[in-house]
Amino acid sequence: MESSILIVGGAGYIGSHVNKLLSERGYKTVVFDNLSTGHRELVKWGRFFKGDLADRRRLDACFGKYKIDAVMHFGAFAYVGESISDPAKYYRNNVAGTLNLLNAMNKFGVGKFIFSSSCAVYGVPASVPIGENHPFSPISPYGRTKNMVEEILADYEAAYGIKRVNLRYFNAAGADPGGGTGEIHDPETHLIPLALDAAAGLRKDIKIFGTDYKTGDGTCVRDYVHVRDLAAAHESALRYLMKGGPGDSFNLGNGRGFSVREVIEAARKVTGRGIKVTLSKKRPGDPPVLIADSAKARRVLGWKPEYPGLNEIIGAAWRWHERKSGRRA
């Protein structure tokens, strides 16, 4: 039986980009997804197995059907605000569901795990840029679930030998430069696609949540990393584990921050469209500044972003936006 990489949540935004890149580079893939937030039409590569992390029998059936060499896990819920209003949903899926996945791996002798973690584990940073040794202090249930799973993975590695790499993303953005996949969320909460919707006339405005943060222009500052670069980091992490690398954690970002206002202005320039802005109150769980120190990923994994520019990121997202809407926006 041919070996495959299992991509849990591979019908979603980042998972579908990883599936495409791995397939292009010669890996066999299996996507495990319940399609609650993912999209079957984005599973254009490899094989598809419908299942839910809460269903241990489906997990066992998947691991029994395919020979799995390694698992990449993108199957978490990821809305910070929703995690605050409904934490039970997040602890059930993100923590208990991941335990089911890890137990299936242990049962079937699969020993390599790449975890889609988040800069949300750090909370409000004491200093920026943020290195991997920055203390954990998550300020939302979503961030706490990522923190908990990282702790669980360390224990599972020590006890059961499941080697793990935690990839702590900053702000994933953009779309596949080749147009094969992109960002589809319902509801959409990410700044760049919301700005592009406003530019295309699909929404009346873009809201800025808070204008009195201690930043250059009063709006939140984030480190945007192209989703294709994130996908490449997962392949680098896979090669690292296959060569026998020890369990470790890596930040993934460009090392440069852009404010909400700067992103909206860049979207205006890229699209050549007007974007109406409406000011709104701050949201809970939004740190003022999040910027990555990704030197460790560059040094250990040999990872280097190929699409670091904000205009490149927004441009790729705009091309996907046009294609998705079926018309020139």
Identity of residue 214: K
Contacts 24+ apart (CB under 8 A), 245-248: 245/163, 245/165, 245/300, 246/163, 247/153, 247/154, 247/157, 247/163, 247/164, 247/165, 248/165, 248/166, 248/300
Q: Are strands 258-259 and 221-222 parallel, antiparallel or unpaired?
A: antiparallel
In sequence order, the β-bridge partners of residue 73 are 8, 115
The residues carrying an active-site annotation are 142
Structure token digits, residue 10: 């591979």
How many beta carbons lie within 10 A of that of residue 276, not counting itself? Answer: 11
Sheet holding 289-290, edge to edge: 258-259, 221-222, 289-290
The structure tokens 């979503």 sit at 142
Q: Give CA–CA dist 85/314, Å, rounded.
A: 31
